[in-house]
Chains A and B, each alone.
Chain A
Amino acid sequence: MTIKSFFLPFILALVAFAVGFLLLDLAMMNMQGLSLIFHN
């Protein structure tokens, strides 16, 4: 029970934060005129 009440919020929050941080990375790199993934 406690594992479920921990595990589910954990996974949801993890995905949400991961997406959020990737958006932050994208925004910060774009602001400097660069893309997130480097291609020559």
Chain B
Amino acid sequence: MAMKIPRLLQAALVLIGVYVGFIVVFDVLLQAIIPSSLLAMYMFFVTAGVFMVFTYDEEGTRELVAPIKALVEDPSKRLIRNIVFVIVPLAAGAATYFQMQPSFEAPVELRTIHPAPPTTAKIYGKQVNLLKLENPFRELEKEDPDQFRELVDEGAAVYIRNCQFCHGDKLDGNGPYAAGLNPTPLNFQDVGTIAQLQESYLFWRISTGGPGLPKEAAPWISSMPVWQDFLTEDEIWKVILYLYDYTGHEPRSWEHE
């Protein structure tokens, strides 16, 4: 007869297994660690799920709870009970102590990566309505492909001279300076950055840079230069053309075609 693992132990093993599984998959196999905050949330709901599976019927619940009931109620288990009742508060105390201990770790920052753009902004000395702003060269993509190509190439030249040091020559946020920056330069290849945004948003970000970030994007520690002080308006628009052209993403359009 096969030895039946007590249900409580089954539940514990599942939880431990899932926890170890997350760590092995992310930290070891994929070489991209799973953040502890996320892991904590994941494990909370995995525990809820395990609880649900182990308690939906009366028989299973009775079996699950039996060891705990025995520990607490069974007179023959007095010795174990007393040991557990001493260890558990001590363990709780130790956990609390270590959590309350101050560390040299800098406090966690919660940055808003996608701050909402203002309706208007002062760029190149004039008030620009960001809701209505369009890339003046975008229409050439269909109307005059040859001229569009030229503009993209000009944008590429501006990018390589100015932007690739941080954002990388492959536009993946891995430029030579990237390792020294926090926050790190945006990866334009990622489907969650320029592919989700409108061109006016990029124009705003590029021309006003880090200092131009709104209140909700605190702390304003971005190293993004204020490019309107170094580039012309046309140059910025051409770089934007190049960003989309190189990565193959399309800017978020105003509405469905």
Contacts and interface: CB of A to CB of B under 8 A. Distances in A.
Interface of A: 32-34, 40
Contacts of A40: 248, 250
Nearest to A32: B256
7 contacts: A32-B256, A33-B256, A33-B257, A34-B256, A34-B257, A40-B248, A40-B250
Contacts, number: 7
Interface string B245-257: 0001010000011
B165 to A, nearest CB: 29
Contacts of A33: 256-257
4 A-B pairs with least C-beta separation: A33-B257, A32-B256, A33-B256, A40-B248
Nearest to A33: B257
A22 to B, nearest CB: 21
Contacts of A34: 256-257
Contacts of B256: 32-34
Contacts of B250: 40
B152 to A, nearest CB: 14
A32 B257 CA distance: 8
Nearest to B250: A40
A35 B250 CA distance: 16
A28 to B, nearest CB: 12
Interface in B212-257: 248, 250, 256-257
